[in-house]
């Protein structure tokens, strides 16, 4: 990779860092003296109860797809610890690594979950050695990345996973009527201002299937955002990609 390419990638990463630091600053003004409440708002939860409920749902999804004690798991875009705190609350024991591009969020994970590992990592890679992770998961991360970035992350996830390991991620898709509002909100922003402050990306299941074949994953499994048969409805769609044994 050329130096120019590396600089472009880092510039894009820093754009998101700046955006989230701006959001955190805004939330801290709303909740002076309550850092945790500000961080909860910065990652999109409406309050502590919603934050805990979402975290518990995320753990339910992981359990459904095979999470057990003793596993090594990687939380890409860990935020301020929504899943980490829920895992801790549930008594899960294992090797947890959380990674995010925003330092104040990572610092909060370290403070609230001292037995877990958390780090700032801004490259399009998984900060783990080859073949070491049982599950890599990410909630509403690909929703804010370009498809090319998603592909590069998936490529490195395949490297980091153990044989038989899984990637579990949520995504937006135009085929889900419940996701249309995101598109229409962005459209309204472009109509009014000529731009939108947040990148909201949609993926197609056929893209994910193609990427899985190219990268060496098994055929993906999908769950609609309204499907509540195996765990609570997640709203965003879910994809599971397994690395063959």
Sheet arrangement for strand 237-242: 117-120, 95-100, 72-76, 133-138, 161-171, 237-242, 221-223
* pLDDT per position as a tens digit, 112-147: 999 999 999 999 999 999 999 999 999 999 999 999
Number of domains in the chain: 1
Residue 226, domain CATH: 3.40.50.150
**Does residue 13 form part of some domain?**
no
What angle separates helix 82-89 from helix 103-112, to the nearest 10 degrees? 10
Q: What is the pLDDT of residue 227?
A: 97
Per-residue pLDDT of the chain (245 residues; tens, 9 = 90+): 666 655 555 555 556 777 788 888 899 999 998 999 999 998 889 999 999 999 999 999 999 999 999 999 999 999 999 999 999 999 999 999 999 999 999 999 999 999 999 999 999 999 999 999 999 999 999 999 999 999 999 999 999 999 999 999 999 999 999 999 999 998 998 999 988 777 889 999 999 999 999 999 999 999 999 999 999 999 999 999 999 99
Q: What is the pLDDT of residue 71?
A: 98
Q: What is the pLDDT of residue 18?
A: 74
pTM: 0.92
**Does residue 153 form part of some domain?**
yes
**Does residue 5 form part of some domain?**
no
Q: Whole domain around residue 150: which residue ranges?
A: 46-242
Q: For tokens 């999109």, what's the residue?
A: 44
* pLDDT per position as a tens digit, 154-164: 999 999 999 99
**Does residue 8 form part of some domain?**
no
């Amino acid at each position: 990779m050329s130096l120019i390419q590396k600089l472009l990638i880092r510039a894009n990463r820093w754009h998101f860092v700046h955006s989230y630091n701006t959001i955190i600053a805004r939330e801290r003004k709303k909740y002076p003296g309550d850092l945790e409440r500000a961080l909860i708002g910065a990652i999109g939860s409406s309050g502590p109860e919603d934050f805990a409920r979402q975290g518990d749902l995320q753990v339910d999804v992981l359990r459904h797809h095979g999470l057990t004690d003793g596993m090594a798991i990687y939380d890409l875009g860990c935020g301020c610890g929504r899943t980490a705190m829920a895992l801790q609350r549930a008594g899960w024991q294992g090797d947890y690594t959380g990674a995010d591009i925003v330092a104040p969020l990572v610092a909060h994970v370290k403070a609230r979950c001292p037995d877990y590992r958390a780090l700032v990592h801004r490259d399009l890679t998984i900060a783990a050695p080859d073949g070491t992770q049982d599950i890599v998961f990410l909630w509403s991360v690909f929703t804010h990345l370009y498809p090319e970035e998603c592909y590069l992350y998936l490529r490195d996830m395949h490297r980091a996973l153990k044989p038989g390991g899984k990637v579990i991620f949520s995504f937006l898709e135009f085929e889900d009527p419940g996701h249309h509002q995101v598109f229409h909100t962005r459209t309204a922003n472009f109509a009014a201002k000529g731009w939108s402050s947040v990148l909201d990306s949609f993926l197609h299941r056929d893209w994910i299937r193609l990427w899985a074949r190219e990268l060496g994953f098994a055929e993906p499994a999908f769950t609609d955002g309204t499907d509540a048969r195996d765990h609570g409805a997640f709203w965003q769609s879910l994809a599971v990609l397994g690395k063959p044994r």
